[in-house]
Amino acid sequence: MYKKMYLRLFNAVTDVLAHIDEHNYGIAKEMLIEAQQACEEIYMEESQEEE
């Protein structure tokens, strides 16, 4: 589970940094929020499967 979360977040951060370099702060913020939500979903799904 944590590997999935790490890879999702790492890829998002890489993309976000490119947008920050281009001064696309709004897009960067949205991408970070989406990555955070995706990781939360992964965590919730994996936690439910373990029960």
Domain span at 25: 2-50
Domain count, the chain: 1
What secondary structure letter does DSSP report for 40? H
What residues contact 35, with CB distance under 8 A and at least 6 apart? 8, 9, 12, 13, 16
Q: What is the DSSP string of the chain?
A: -HHHHHHHHHHHHHHHHHHHHTT-HHHHHHHHHHHHHHHHHHHHHHHHHH-
* Structure confidence at residue 23 (pLDDT): 98
pLDDT in tens, 1-51: 899 999 999 999 999 999 999 999 999 999 999 999 999 999 999 988 876
pTM attached to this predicted model: 0.83
